[in-house]
Amino acid sequence: MYHIHPSLTSQYRARRGKNNLVDAEDVARVLLANPQLPPYRLCQQRTRLQELSRTPDKLAEQRKANQMMLEALPDTTTDALRTAVRAVLTSLEAALKEVEQAMAALVAQVAPALLT
């Protein structure tokens, strides 16, 4: 497997349309013209960062939904239920901070210049 930058295939694409078959042919032409291209190596940190980058939005959505649920509870709701919902909110906020810290630590390893 190779990582083919789009600029390498654009010279072939200019004269034809773009679809999966055309893309495959263009990649084959690039590989034939550039046998020195190094194989693509999947970086574990990159994969982990991709996974982590999806998580904050999901946690934030869940936190917002729980906050709205708490605010919508009728006045007759028991204190135990309100306390339970607040505990879930606190847990989601802690998880969100933990994910953000993990992302920052991973970025510091992979590309520390991004943090400055």
pLDDT single digits (tens) 42-64:
678 878 888 888 899 999 999 99
Confidence bin at 107 (pLDDT 50/70/90): confident
| Secondary structure class of 38 (helix, strand, coil) | coil
Read off the pTM: 0.59
Query: pLDDT tens, 84-99?
Result: 999 999 999 999 999 9
Single-letter amino acid code for the residue at 111: A
Neighbouring-strand partners of residue 2: 39
- Of 49, 42, 68, nearest in space to 114 by CA: 49
Packing angle of the helix pair 79-110, 44-72 (nearest 10 deg):
160
Confidence bin at 17 (pLDDT 50/70/90): low
Q: Give Rg (Cα) of the chain.
A: 24
Measure the CA–CA gap between 90 and 62, rounded to whole angstroms.
Answer: 12
